Structure 1
Amino acid sequence: MAATRPGRLPGRHRRASESQATYSEVIAIGEFRSLWGGQCLSLLGDQLAQVALAILVFERTHSALATAAVYALTYLPPILGGPLLAGLADRFARRRVMIICDLVRALLVGLMAVPSMPFPVLCALVFCVVLLSSPFTAARAALLPDILEGDRYVAGSALQNMTNQAVQMLGFAAGAGVIATIGTHRGLALDALTFLISALILAVGVRRRPPPDPEDGVHASMWSSTKAGARLVFGDRRLRTLVMFAWLCGFYVLPEGIAVPYAATLGDDPRDVTLISGLLMAAMPTGTVIGAFVFSRLVTPTGRLRVMGWMAMLSCAPLIGCALRPPLAVVLALWVLAGMGGAYQLAANAAFVQCVPANRRGQAFGLVQSGLLAAQGIGILIGGAAAQALGPEPVVALAGASGLTVAALLAMLWTESRAEIITRVRTQVS
C-alpha cells in the first residue's frame, strides 16, 4: 500500500492508497513481452497493407466512396462470422487458437501479394484475413488477464495500446514512403512475414495452458455459446453501457477512412496527397499514445472510471472543428486531441474484465470486438458515401457532433452504474 502524508482529507487518503502498477513490472513478465511483441509486429505489417490498398484504390478510381469501401472491408467481416468464431477462444487452448490464426493469415496474405491476383479475389482474401482476427483477438484478450493481475492488467493494456498506436502511427506515416519504394505487392509480402514471425514468438514465449473449463462440464454448440455470450453481455446494464462506450469509436475513427480524399482537399500534387494522407492517418494514433500514457500513469484506477465519460466526449468533440475547413496543421491538432480522448477505452476495458467470468471472456470479448470493428466499418462506409456528396470536412464534423451526443448520453448512464465497479477496483488495488 502506498504511503500517504498526514493531514490529507479522507477521500484523498483513499485515492492515494490505491496501488498503481508500473510499466517495468509488466515488461518483466516474459509471457506479456511475447504477446506484446508479436502483436506489434503483425500490426506494423497490417498498416503497410492498409496504406497500400487505400492508395491503390484511390489512384484507380479517384472515388472517396470506393476508397472508404475497401478500407471498410477491413472492418466488416466480424458482422458475419466474428461472434461465432470468437467462441473458439473459450473452447480450445487460447495459445493454440492464436498460433493457428497467425499461420492461416500468413498464407492468405501471401496469396494477396501475388501480382496477378484479380482485384475481386484480393478483396475476398482481405475479408477472410480480417475474419480470422476475431478468434485471435478474443483469445489474446481472454489470455491477458491470466498473465497480468490487478492494476498490472491496466498498465499492460495501456502499454499495449500505446505501442499499438505508435506502430499504427509509424505504419501510416512511413507506410506511404515504404510502399512508394517497394511497391504494393512487396508490402503485402512483408505483412505475411510478420504473421509468421508472430506465430513463432507465441509458440516460444507463451506457455501452454489447458482450455477453459466449460460451464456444467459440457461445451455448448458454437451457436448456443454465441447466444449465451450475447445474453451475458447485453443482459447486464453495466456491461451494456461499457459495450456502448467501446463501440463509440465508430464515430471518431471515421476520419481515418476518408483520410485520402480529405488529403486531396489540402494538396494538389499526387505525391503531396500521399504524404498528407499518411500524416492524417497517423494523427489519431499519436494522440492515443499521449492520452494512454497520461491516463494510465497520472490518474488513479478509480479516477479513470470517474472521468471516463468526459474522456469519451473529448474523443469526438474536436472533430466538429473540421466544419471550418482549417489548414493542415489545425486539422492534425484536432485529430490528435480526439485521439487523446480515446484513451478512455483503457478504463472501459478494465471495468469489462471486472464484470465477466474468466471462462466466458473469449466469447464476451469477441462479441464486443466484432461489434466494435463492425461499427467502425459501417461508420467509414457511410462516411465515404457522405463525403462523395458533401465533401470530407463536413462529414468529419458531423461524425464528431453525433459522437459527442452519444458520448454525453453514455456518460450519464455510466454515472448510475460505476459505483459497484469502483468499489471492486478499490478493493483489488489497495
Structure 2
Amino acid sequence: MIQHYCKIAFRNILKYKIQSIISIIGLAVGFTCFALSNLWIHYEITYDKFYEGVERTHLLYQEATFSESTFSTYSSYMLATTLRQEFPEVEAACAVYQRETGLKTKEGKTAKVNCMYADSTFLEMFQPTSILSGSMEFLYSNNKIALTEETAMSLFGSTEVLGQEIEANDAPKTVCAILKNVEKHSNLYFAAWTMSSQFQKEKSEWGVHRFQTYVRLRKGVDATSFQEKMKNYESGNQWYPKPLEKYKIIPLTQYHYSAINEKLTLKFNYLVLFSIASGMIILCALFNYLSLFITRMHTRNREIELRKVCGSSIRNLFILFGTEYLFVLLLSGLLGMTFIELSLPKFRELSEINGNIYGESFLYFIGILFISYILLIPFIVRRYYRQSGNLFLFRKCSIVFQLIICILSLVGTLN
C-alpha cells in the first residue's frame, strides 16, 4: 500500500513539476540560509563558554570621553588590584594586555601573533591552557617567552624548542615553555605569552590605561549592586579619589557580539535579521506550496470520493496526501543539505567559524516537517467530511501573509 501511495505521489509531483520545482528550490534556499545564519549566531553567543565560572565573569568598560556612542575597555592595572583587595564580592580579578607581536627566529623565520602580557592572576582566574613542557619563568622574567604548539610548529617546525632564542618586537627572548594550543573560540585567545619591564612598571600606576580588566564575582552576588558599589568607591588617593566611578561591567559571554567590542567586524543584529529573513523565506515557500497543494486537493474531488466509496478511511487519505507532501519536503531538505555542503567551505573561510551544522540543521528540518503536517491535517479532515466553506479562503490568506512578509523584508532591508 505504501508503495502505491509513493507512486501516486511521484506522479503528481511530475504532473505539477514547475510548481513542485519552485517550491522545492524556495524551501531549500530558505533552509540553507537559516541553517548557516543560526550556526553563526550560535558561534557568536558561545564565546568563552568553556571557562569555569564564566557566567559570573565580567569585563570592565567605560564610555569613551570623545564620543557618547563609543566605549573603551582599557583601564589601569591598579583597577584589578583594587577589586581583589577592597571588594569581598570579588572572587578573582586580573588585568591583561594583548597586542600583535612580531616573532623572529635566528634563521629568519617570522610570524605575527597575538601575544599575551599577563601575570599569574590571569592563569589563576581563567586557566586558559596547560604547560606541555618547560617552566613558568615567562611569568616572572622579561627575557622569557612561552609559545603554543601551533606557534612553535610555525616558527621551528617542532615543539622541541626549549632554550631557543627568538626576537619579540626586536627584544631578545628565550623560549622557556611550550603551551597547549589555546581555544580560538575566545576573546582571550593568544599564541605567545611573555612579560615586559614596562608591564611591571605600570602595575602600580593609576594613570596608565592599556589593560583589560576581568572580574569574577562570587556566587549569589548581584552584578547591578556590585556595579553601584564600584561607582561609590573612594580610594583615598588625592589624584584619583573615585577611580571606579565611570566603570561598568558586561558579562564576558556577551562582550564579543556587543557594540563595546572595538574589533567587531559584523554587527550581531545583522545576523539576527538575516536569520529572521531566512525564516520568512521558508514560511513564504511553505505557505505557497501548501496553498497550491490544497487547491490540488479540491481538483481531485472525484478521486477522493471514489477512494471513500472503496473503503478508504481518513487515515488512508492522510497517508496518501501526506506521502506526496512529504516527498516535496524531503526533496527540499536534501537539496538544502546539498547547498549547505557546497557553500560550507567558503562560508567557513569567510566567517572563520567552526561548529557542527548538520545536527542543528536536522532539528530545524524536523521542526519544518512538524509545522507543515500540523497545518495540513485540518484540510484533509475537511475534505473527508465535505465540510462547507470558502474553498479559497486559505489561499487568499496565504497570499496576504506572503505579501506582509515581503513588505516587512523590504522595510527591514531599507532600514
TM over 0.5: no
Structure 2 length normalisation: TM-score?
Answer: 0.24
Choose between structure 1 and 2: higher strand proportion: 2
State the TM-score, normalizing by the size of structure 1.
0.23
**Higher helix residue share:** 1
